[in-house]
Structure 1
């Protein structure tokens, strides 16, 4: 497979990931994960694992899912999926980075392409074995069946062996990438230990040759031996920022009301002896849970407790997380003025989490024109930010600029590769522009016409792929 073919295959999978009900774009968690992902990409480039062609052609994007399963996966073309359930069990940023480095190595080593090539090479041999088995059946049915069964079994076993080799390679290369990026070399072993504990099937070495992955015990021993010879001191630590990210992940991934209430109950039964970092995490998750249950008075009280903690006040990341949480709770409560006071001045920040919260607050407090101007600059540099496009559409809509609002909505759908829906919205924008709708001008109409043709071309390519 060429890199272009891999990218097209990955895009097909990514389209389904965007449509999945578990897909979630949480700006706070996504920004934290991106802060781990970017150093890994830089390290892969420095080590020569990431070729210039792959660097240019692939998406290199991590999509979050709110499933509580402890899982992450790589897709051809540079797409990665990370379930919040995996974040929920980590104790340091380095453990998340170890998983991302492993999955990144699956992509840089082109494992999907190599597996497909392996299968294509085996196909003629399997076909020959099947034909020989059918010929033998005319003389000895039992022998013929034995040949066919043996051929299928050898093919399956070869695939399993190849898969395990790929996993070992991703462990080895991912380890090197993570260490070069500055993450703790011990994090791989500790993450495998968590996977071992969470697995329903104990790795007791039963039938290891029937597994697609090496035994967790084998992988733990390998990573521990590598960490012993790693240069430099260990750097992993359970920071307040990571604890708050995990708390947020738990609240966002809670699948039902009962699970949300559990988080609120934990916040209401805190003991004085609870360690400060854990206490802050429980208060954070409890406040977000209370807001989801529409108990805003309780949510406000928990936020105030969180912000009053000396450990939070002394930690810049903790202070920021508490401020963003207070803003979010006020917005959910329908109090934009209070949200604006909680958020403060974020004019000079480049943080996506602050920007998107600010956009919601300013749109609700009469500053839609400011939002439109700032988000226009943002989406010009971040064309795949569907959430930003949606907020830009809302800001245009508040101003009555319907043509621009519909076009921004179309761009949001295109950013998530829902090209059929995007084309419908672009055509609606074209129709509004031709009728002289609000927000229509020559430049906007030209952009809409150009984007309509581009999306039509992408849809034709999809039809040819099918």
Structure 2
């Protein structure tokens, strides 16, 4: 894939704005003063319905998945979602948000329609504290809650939804999209032009900083984390332009912006909050993944543990165990993990790793036994439930895996990887109608509405489908067909 510019642009039908990481300063329409406040009387506030916003978000994510490596790792994604939702709760601006990981070393983040917020792996590794990571997310949340995007591009509200979503994705990706995607090449060029015509004003950025710092403080994080992160990144930029984060090369942080952020932080006062164990575990996991050669990853963790070069020994040993497992040294991985589990018997990361070691060692029944209790105590825990179902599948118990996943999906619907696993379990257990049904749900969650409809239609054509299940599938088919019809009417 060609290199991309990950500074995000968030277009909505009435207006989509780029939500770049903490430091983006997007171009305003050429005819206006880039430092003007947004027009708070704009009709953009009401031009999109909730259904339209949802549809645009789904279409946007379809293109993001085609161009960026969106991670399917439930442990890392669940951590980001947990941190993100804590900030949403503290912000006082509830709404729909989905936090996801981009598996690239770029130091950046972006937000798209319907509250889809992508965080690059490089950002998590660049953040020295959990507060710095939270500062970036809080800044993005503020852009969403203040509707900066809706007022930035109102002129595009008459564009068809697919074109709007593709233009948005092209802007997010920096104009280079695979030519095999048909119109994407042209839309990429248009997206690059949009980046130069639309931007957050300086007032937007300062407002997002202020509100983000307030959110940080209410969530219990150090409000100085935001200006501190800005300052450190700016120093990196001054020392080495070639190694500076991409967004800083395009939109450098100004001294006045840092000063404003510091003044805002002083209103809340300094506070110290220990980083969560999950933050350190996520960083250790990403560090070992960053090394493509597992043997070199093992050597890295052995050396750092021997020399004492780490911030959290528990996390460092977790990374070591992950690397050992990747290298096929399962007994050594189990040996490293054992004391971690003794000290933290309910830690999701450790339980999932233990189950994966057992599966790779050809002991799936052991994984099932070890996970059954934790899943019962935490029925809404995504990583545990997925690991449990995978263990059941490996133990040739697909029907039980499907039942377990159905119970979990009733508690936490909308997770694409869960529906994909449900479809596999249904197919393996010979339940063809359910295979089609859950394949449809998976496709719907990744933005493929028409293929999802076709899967449901195929299910209804089966001779062996029972009346009760057929009724459920027909209801869902009618819902998706109505959504498709509404999209066509808007376009």
Do these two structures clear the TM 0.5 threshold for a shared fold by scoring above it?
yes
Gaps of 5+ in 2: 1-43, 158-193, 242-247
Query: Greater CA deviation, 111-120 or 188-197?
Result: 111-120
Aligned residues between the structures: 400
Deviation at 1:65, TM superposition (A): 1.1
TM-score, normalised by the number of residues in structure 2: 0.72
CA separation in 2, counterparts of 1:344 and 1:373?
Answer: 13
Check whether the contact 1:186–1:224 (CA below 8 A) recurs between aligned residues. Answer: yes
Deviation at 1:443, TM superposition (A): 1.4
Alignment of 1:344-383 (within 5 A): 345-346=373-374, 347-349=376-378, 350-383=380-413
Residue 180 (structure 2) aligns with: none
Offset from partner CA, 1:175-219 (integer Å, 9 cap, x none): 11221122221221232234335548979xxxxxx9974625443
CA separation in 2, counterparts of 1:200 and 1:299?
Answer: 45
Identify the match of residue 442 of structure 1 among 443, 467, 471.
Answer: 467
Identify the match of residue 423 of structure 2 among 390, 393, 412.
Answer: 393
Deviation at 1:271, TM superposition (A): 4.7
Check whether the contact 1:243–1:278 (CA below 8 A) recurs between aligned residues. Answer: yes
> Using a 3 Å threshold, how does the CA distance of structure 1 residues 199 and 324 change in structure 2: closer, same or farther?
farther
CA separation in 2, counterparts of 1:167 and 1:462?
Answer: 33
> Using a 3 Å threshold, how does the CA distance of structure 1 residues 223 and 9 change in structure 2: closer, same or farther?
same
Check whether the contact 2:321–2:336 (CA below 8 A) recurs between aligned residues. Answer: no
> Using a 3 Å threshold, how does the CA distance of structure 1 residues 392 and 211 change in structure 2: closer, same or farther?
closer
Query: Greater CA deviation, 382-391 or 237-246?
Result: 237-246
Residue 458 (structure 1) aligns with: 483
> Using a 3 Å threshold, how does the CA distance of structure 1 residues 402 and 9 change in structure 2: closer, same or farther?
closer
CA separation in 1, counterparts of 2:156 and 2:459?
Answer: 47
Check whether the contact 2:71–2:77 (CA below 8 A) recurs between aligned residues. Answer: no
1:268 aligns with 2:302: yes
Residue 335 (structure 1) aligns with: 363
Give the structure with the higher percent helix.
1
Matched residue SS, 2:127: coil
Deviation at 1:396, TM superposition (A): 2.2
Residue 186 (structure 1) aligns with: 224
Check whether the contact 2:125–2:286 (CA below 8 A) recurs between aligned residues. Answer: yes
Deviation at 1:61, TM superposition (A): 1.1
Deviation at 1:168, TM superposition (A): 1.4
Matched residue SS, 1:70: coil
Check whether the contact 1:105–1:174 (CA below 8 A) recurs between aligned residues. Answer: yes
Check whether the contact 1:324–1:354 (CA below 8 A) recurs between aligned residues. Answer: yes
Residue 215 (structure 1) aligns with: 253
Offset from partner CA, 1:115-148 (integer Å, 9 cap, x none): 114899xxxxxxxxxxxxxxxxxxxxxxxxxxxx
Identify the match of residue 281 of structure 1 among 295, 312, 315.
Answer: 315
Identify the match of residue 324 of structure 1 among 340, 344, 352.
Answer: 352
Gaps of 5+ in 1: 121-154, 204-209
TM-score, normalised by the number of residues in structure 1: 0.76
CA separation in 1, counterparts of 2:322 and 2:487?
Answer: 41
Matched residue SS, 2:101: strand
Residue 64 (structure 1) aligns with: 101
Query: Greater CA deviation, 109-118 or 268-277?
Result: 268-277
Check whether the contact 1:23–1:64 (CA below 8 A) recurs between aligned residues. Answer: yes
CA separation in 2, counterparts of 1:159 and 1:106?
Answer: 14
Query: Greater CA deviation, 174-183 or 299-308?
Result: 299-308
Residue 265 (structure 2) aligns with: 227
Deviation at 1:67, TM superposition (A): 1.4
Residue 130 (structure 2) aligns with: 93
Check whether the contact 1:75–1:107 (CA below 8 A) recurs between aligned residues. Answer: no
CA separation in 2, counterparts of 1:408 and 1:8?
Answer: 20
> Using a 3 Å threshold, how does the CA distance of structure 1 residues 335 and 157 change in structure 2: closer, same or farther?
closer
> Using a 3 Å threshold, how does the CA distance of structure 1 residues 425 and 158 change in structure 2: closer, same or farther?
closer
Offset from partner CA, 1:15-60 (integer Å, 9 cap, x none): 2223445011221112211221222222222xxx45xxxx3xxx31
Identify the match of residue 405 of structure 1 among 424, 427, 435.
Answer: 435
CA separation in 2, counterparts of 1:352 and 1:111?
Answer: 33
Structure of larger gyration radius = 1
> Using a 3 Å threshold, how does the CA distance of structure 1 residues 342 and 13 change in structure 2: closer, same or farther?
same
Check whether the contact 1:69–1:83 (CA below 8 A) recurs between aligned residues. Answer: yes
1:32 aligns with 2:79: yes
Deviation at 1:356, TM superposition (A): 0.9
CA separation in 2, counterparts of 1:267 and 1:157?
Answer: 44
Matched residue SS, 1:185: coil
Check whether the contact 1:286–1:299 (CA below 8 A) recurs between aligned residues. Answer: no
1:257 aligns with 2:292: yes
1:78 aligns with 2:107: no
